[in-house]
Amino acid sequence: MKALAPERPVDFAALRKDFPILDRKIYGKPLVYLDNTATTQKPLSVLRALDDYYRNTNANIHRGVYRLAEEATEAYENVRHKVARFLNARSDREIVFTRGTTESINLVAYAWGRRNVGPGDVIVITEMEHHSNIVPWQLLAEEKGAVIRWIPVDPDGRLDLRGLDSLLAGPVKLVAVTQVSNALGTINPVAEIGRRAHAAGALILVDGAQSVPHMTVDVQALDCDFLAFSGHKMLGPTGAGALVAKRAILEAMPPFMGGGEMIREVTTSGSTWNDVPWKFEPGTMNIADTVALGAAIDYVSAIGPAAIHRHGQALAAKAMEALRVIPGVRLYGPPAAERGGIVSFTLEGIHAHDVAAVLDREGVAVRAGHHCAMPLHTKFGIPATTRASFYVYNQPSDVEALAAGVRKAIETFRP
């Protein structure tokens, strides 16, 4: 697609032709894909990049000295540069490729956490975290005798930061917080939280799984020490994402996994490590999917993250308006202006699975469950919600299909 100037209005409807899966029929109805928080669909340019890599460039990287290996290495390392520019990292060396957000967070928990967190030390997280930003810290805390403190969520689904100073008192080593809640859509003030974490002598990790695909994320402006994200939530293939971290921190961290490529020298008495970031990329990495992630970043960059954010927010606002007037619907989270393109709701007397099942028969794909955020759902006293989430190819007509499906669920389950 053509590069567009950021201020030019984007014709989002015209993007749909780039996504072959949107031509699919589900139970005879056009697919309305509203589970973009879980994963996004892939445009032709990404599919072609994947195909092209295997047809024309495939070789193992960093090892061979033949032409093909040089090309593969260059393709892979070019994506590192693209990621660095996309997120305004200081250098390509701050980008460590991983399978995605979960692996990135685990990398920090194992490599940085094991060295820097000890008995009685504190890790601060929030009640709205995805399990991937809870469980690694619980594992670390259990192993090291560390303590986890929770930033609470208020009834409107915002972080309640009034008690942050006391949460940050004492031997706090890390604050790990999501920039956008995958369950509520809430956008959190991570720059402010980061400033206060740094003032308290702690590092900050930002879970960017739902922010990097949807809005302008600048790691220097955020001044975050670690940022984790997944490529598959921004039009890329599954299994390719990254950890972005300050170089000095990466330099001081021991390796995460041992193997080929991550070493400088291996002897029978021990090993020394490769430079960062390759120190953290052992074995044969997910080369093809990472290369295709580059095509996804090109696609997203051409639209512009700011325009994508406005588009998602507008669809969320429209969905909230359409759902609010349906009897029995309860919406969760803050007003549309304070969230990304995510809307979660319950329908009185009807389980989220049943709502999703009726929607499915109408071709509308939504998520139903606790969205890997059980502490949040426990806090709100609900076992499950139905969640609609939007991305670049979604249209106002998708919101209408969602609302019509919710009304059908009521007809089906309320005699």
Partner 1 sequence: MSLDDFFRQNILDHYQNPRNFGTLDHPDISAEDSNPLCGDKIRMDLMVKDGRVEDVRFTGVGCSISRAAASMLTEEIKGKTLEEVKRLSRDDVLELLGIELGPVRLKCALLALKTLKVGVYGVAEWSGEDDE
Site residues, partner 1 (CB under 8 A): 27, 351-354, 357-358, 361-362, 368-370, 374, 377, 383-384, 408, 412-413, 415
Instruction: Judge contact between 316 and 185, C-beta under 8 A.
Output: yes
DSSP structural state of residue 386: E
Nearer to partner 1 among residue 77 and residue 354 (C-beta): 354
| Residue 372 among the catalytic residues | yes
Tell me which residue of 61, 66, 13 sits closest to 288, measured CA to CA.
61
Half-sphere exposure of 349 (CA within 13 A, CB side): 9
Residue closer to partner 1, measured from CB, 260 or 375: 375
Record the tokens describing residue 330, joined without a space: 């309860």
Query: Please, what is the minimum distance in Å from the beta carbon of residue 127 to partner 1?
Result: 17
Least distance between partner 1 and beta carbon 372 (Å): 10
Find the angle CA(133)-CA(215)-CA(232) to the nearest 5 degrees.
60
User: Which residue of the set 177, 372, 399, 401 is catalytic?
Assistant: 372
| Residue 344, phi then psi, degrees to nearest 5 | -115, 140
Q: Is 36 helix (H, G, I), strand (E, B) or coil?
A: coil
The backbone torsions φ and ψ at residue 82, rounded to the nearest 5 degrees and listed phi first, read: -60, -45
The string of DSSP letters for 345-364 reads EEETTB-HHHHHHHHHHTTE
Q: Which is nearer to partner 1, 214 or 377 (CB)?
A: 377
Give whichever of 288 and 384 is closer to partner 1, judged by the CB atom: 384
Q: How far is the CB of 375 from partner 1 (least distance, A)?
A: 13
Question: Please, what is the minimum distance in Å from the beta carbon of residue 348 to partner 1?
Answer: 14
Shorter beta-carbon distance to partner 1: residue 47 or 374: 374
Instruction: Let me know the angle formed at the C-alpha of 35 by 232 and 158, rounded to the nearest 5 degrees.
Output: 95
User: What is the spatial distance between Cα 354 and Cα 45, in angstroms, rounded to a whole number?
Assistant: 36
Catalytically annotated residues: 372
